[in-house]
Amino acid sequence: MQDVFKGAKNLGFGLMRLPLLDGNDDSKIDIETLKTMVDMFIERGFTYFDTAWMYCGFASESAIKEALVKRYPRDKFTLATKLHSGFINVQEDMDKVFDAQREKTGVEFFDYYLIHDVNAHSIETYDRLDAWSWLINKKKEGLVKNIGFSFHDSPELLEKVLKEHPQMEFVQLQINYLDYDSPAIKSRENYMLAEKYDKPVIVMEPIKGGTLINVSDQVKKLFEEANPDASIASWAVRFAASHKNVKMVLSGMNKIEDMDNNTAYMKNFSPLTEKEKELVFKAADIMNKEIAIPCTGCSYCTEGCPKKIAIPKYFALYNAEMKQNPDGKLGWTPQMGYYANISKDFGKAGDCIKCRKCEKICPQHLEITEFLKTVADRFE
């Protein structure tokens, strides 16, 4: 089949987590810092930018218009965005979202367009509205150059989608060394299916929302002894990029330092050796014993929460709490203070009414309501 990523470098700028002016409002993006990051990305030879309708409180697409589209010729970058099932109820909604996306980003066409977060729940909407044919028609009209889908579910469902929709040209999968053999995520099995059906792969969550950067001292020592010059992030991104059918690895970068680091080692990319692969799996074994709640911080769960609970923030605090104070014997920890501060502006974990809207949209299939109860028991 035609390689839809021919000539593309293998690092993409994921625009789900961006530099912010207000840490409590994902829509308040620091445009000037983003411009500096975009410039560095392009100057170092990279071109792929990945956004979506609801990223950064629905502000990501508009931000990339200001930081990229208005400032560079159209042939200097490739732009990907997505259609999410949570915002479409009738067929006309798909065109409304698509047209709004073109206006928000300022482009006439998208280089890559994805049916987003295909899973056991969302596929019912996509099939009912025949989003697959709709997307194929967008390509025929010249409004999209390459079509595909992102996926968060079982290998069985992935194979069903690949069989039924062979026109899809690529698939976006969650691949990182922590999830590779996870019984819930099944990254390895999903990757092998994409390879079986000869579909190029884009990787999302290579560092699992920062989890594979903010590692314990034990894991950090493991990597530093192997290569003191390599950043912690580089082990995770290189692991994902080392798969032969992976054409693009998306990295969410919200600091100039992140951009500088990632583009530096990916500009002259070298795959992991077999010995290095053994090392990252050893790190995964250690980390799987340390992480209490395997949340990536994507924030999909927060948009529809009727109680406006800051779910990812609370889970991150709980994970930090379990590292510092696992038995609860300390009378006070910084996490307790942060929890009190955050809960002034957002609902508390204990406010959860168990509507489970969050669980239906969670890409990691977490039992969020049960974890919120655990968080409330600790911090409230």
**pLDDT of res. 19:** 95
Q: What pLDDT sits at residue 5?
A: 81
pLDDT score recorded for residue 184: 66
**What average pLDDT score do residues 90-106 get?**
98
What is the rounded distance in angstroms from the CA atom of residue 370 to the CA atom of residue 93?
34
Selected residue with higher pLDDT from 113 and 23: 113
Burial 146-157 (b: 16+ CB within 10 A, else e): bbbbbbbbbeeb
Evaluate if residue 90 carries a pLDDT over 50. yes
Higher pLDDT, 331 or 256: 256
Q: What is the DSSP string of 22-86?
A: -TT-TT-B-HHHHHHHHHHHHHTT--EEE--TTHHHHTHHHHHIIIIITTS-GGG-EEEEEEEGG
Question: Over 90: is that where the pLDDT of 23 sits?
Answer: no
Predicted TM-score (pTM) of this structure: 0.82
Please enumerate in sequence order all residues whose Cβ is within 8 A of that of 329, keeping only pairs 6 or more positions apart, or say none: none
Q: What is the pLDDT of residue 7?
A: 62
pLDDT score of 322: 84
Q: Give mean pLDDT, residues 306-328.
A: 87
Q: pLDDT of 185-243, one tens digit each?
A: 789 999 999 999 999 999 998 998 888 898 989 999 999 999 999 999 999 999 999 99
pLDDT digits (tens, 9 = 90+) for 26-40: 899 999 999 999 999
What gap in Å lies between CA 368 and CA 356, rounded to an integer? 8
C-beta atoms surrounding 310 within 10 Å: 22
Residue 47 pLDDT greater than 50, yes or no: yes
Backbone φ, ψ for residue 159 (5° rounding): -65, -40
Q: Which residues pair with 42 in a beta bridge?
A: none
Residue 1: predicted pLDDT:
45
Q: What pLDDT was estimated at residue 92?
A: 98
- Percent of the chain beyond pLDDT 90? 76
Q: Is the pLDDT of residue 93 over 60?
A: yes
Give residues with Cβ within 8 angstroms of 35, minimum separation 6.
66, 67, 71
The predicted pLDDT at position 332 comes to 75
Residue 4, pLDDT above cutoff 80: no
Comparing 33 with 320, the larger pLDDT belongs to 33
Separation of alpha carbons 58 and 51, rounded Å: 10
Cβ contact 104:29 at 8 Å: no
Question: Does pLDDT of 149 surpass 80?
Answer: yes
pLDDT digits over 268-301, tens only? 899 999 999 999 999 999 988 888 898 988 999 9
328: pLDDT confidence band, cut at 50, 70 and 90? Answer: confident
Three-class SS state of 187: helix
